[in-house]
Copies of this chain bind each other. A is one copy, B any other.
Amino acid sequence: MEHSSEPYNLVTPIGLLGLGVVGSAVVKAIETREKLGDSRVSLDVVASVVRDASVKRDVPVDSSKISTDPNSVIVNPEIRIVVELMGGETPAFEFISRALQAGKHVVTANKEVMSKRGSELLTTARTHGVHLLYEASVAGGIPIIGPLMNDLSANKIMSIRGIINGTTNFILTKMAHEGADFDDVLSEAQTLGYAEADPTADIDGFDAMYKLSVLARLAYQTEVPVESIYREGITKIHAKDFRYARELGYTIKLLGVVQANQNLGLLPRVHPALVPLGEPMASVNGVLNAVEVEGDLVGSLWFQGPGAGPNPTASAIIGDIHKIATEAVGKQIIRKELEPFVIASMEGHKCQYYIRITADDRPGVLANVARVLGDAEISIKSVLQKDTDVDNNRADLVIMTHPARESNMQSAVGSIRALDTVACFDSLIRVETYNS
């Protein structure tokens, strides 16, 4: 398959499943490039499938090329590459499968289907001798799938750590900078279009979980089912946690992390974490995404950019289309039989913890809490007493622990909750551990 020395300027016919904001951005970007004559390869949007053909669309697509019939794209003999932009598992899984079976290459931005059914789909692609690319499914316009698939393939990946959900990062950044409450910032994010009407997928960490699963499978060439990923959202974080965290030298971010540990296996986790203010991750603000990849040869790499938005996503999608059109997609490598990674449970995770408790403001309370932690073999690093409420005789107790095991901490949490002197166990946030 040595490439020819001839200019490569055949028109590549593509079809779109979905013509919403991302689909429209893809069509417009293609159109602009075609007009200027400066695209690397010539693309022609032959057909688009939409849910409702009567919707007015601000895209340069002839209405005759828009249909509600998925088959007008999936089995259209004219189409070489199908671009799936519907999102969700159903019916995307079926449509992608059928397109691959029909011998079409597929480019998708769909993290949910790639996390839940990606292995099946990649197998189908291989079986039918076609490509399935998904750069746009993780971290928007940031090239991260491509580098993991190709540029970094010499490395054993030690860890991947990222801010891979723009909505929650927008919310957490606002909370950190403005001292605002979660609900208020969520409403604002919804008004601005940064959060959906039903924000569950973002704020409960599902979106980050899907993306982490996709990254982990690729980096470790092993199945990382979404069910195996520890997941915790950001809804329980309060404005005062940011205030106390800052006093301790941290901010709070929703991280997706997967680390390979020789003894424990692979631990994938999505949860809010205290990040030291000096770490670059602490300065990734607003809807930006960032991914830190640590490889045994290359060391620590940092990728940062817009994690969402129609144009950054279109950049990733068209990049994938170009790769297929220019034959820049390699064979899917099936590695020699290796022992598959064990997916570790969160129980064995070890880190420092930030604890916030509303407790009675009287002598002996801290001693009680400290005893419970000590019984669970958790040492206290520092304690702050804050926001004393004289009327109710209450105060905030903010405790930073030394590194402790998750299982020990969970049992301690139960015991602390049961203490008479503790009115409320408000927050338990893990502190992210950096080697440096």
- Cβ contacts under 8 Å, A298 to chain B: 141, 305-306, 311-312, 315-316
> Beyond A129-B3, A156-B38, A323-B330, is A302–B299 a contact (Cβ under 8 Å)?
no
A283 to B130, CA, bound (A): 43
Check A154 against B330 for contact (C-beta < 8 Å): no
Q: Is there a chain B Cβ closer than 8 Å to A71's Cβ?
A: no
Is A304 on the interface with B (CB-CB < 8 A)? yes
Establish whether residues A1 and B4, one from each chain, have CB atoms under 8 Å apart when the complex forms. Answer: no
Taken together as a complex, chains A and B put the C-alpha atoms of A152 and B142 apart, in Å, by 9
A179 adjacent to chain B (CB < 8 Å): no
Stretch in A5-13, A353-361, A369-377 touching the partner: A5-13
| Contact in complex: B5, A126 (CB < 8 Å) | yes
Indicate if the CB atoms of A331 and B8 lie closer than 8 Å.
yes
Interface-located stretch among A112-120, A195-203, A334-342, A412-420: A334-342
Q: Are B315 and A150 in contact (CB under 8 A)?
A: no
A147 adjacent to chain B (CB < 8 Å): yes
- On chain B, the residues within 8 Å of A126 by CB distance are 3, 5
Given contacts A280-B283, A301-B305, A302-B302, whether A130 and B2 have CB atoms under 8 Å apart is yes
Q: A143-B143, A298-B141, A299-B312 are in contact. Are A333 and B153 (CB under 8 A)?
A: no
Contacts of A316 in B (CB 8 A): 151, 298
Judging by beta carbons under 8 Å apart, are B301 and A155 in contact?
no
Cβ of A303 and Cβ of B306 under 8 Å apart?
no
A53 interfacial by beta-carbon distance below 8 Å: no
A155 to nearest B CB, angstroms? 6
Cβ distance A214 to chain B, nearest Cβ, rounded Å: 16
Q: A154-B322, A302-B305 are in contact. Are A315 and B328 (CB under 8 A)?
A: no
Chain B residues with CB under 8 Å of A3's CB are: 126, 129, 131, 329-332
Q: Which 8 A-B pairs have the closest CB atoms?
A: A328-B330, A154-B318, A326-B330, A143-B151, A141-B298, A2-B129, A297-B315, A298-B315
A-B contact pairs, 9 of them (CB 8 A): A3-B129, A38-B156, A141-B301, A154-B315, A280-B304, A298-B311, A301-B305, A326-B330, A326-B331
Given A3-B331, A300-B305, A301-B304, 11 additional A-B pairs, CB 8 A: A3-B131, A4-B129, A5-B129, A7-B334, A33-B154, A37-B336, A39-B154, A40-B153, A150-B323, A298-B316, A302-B304
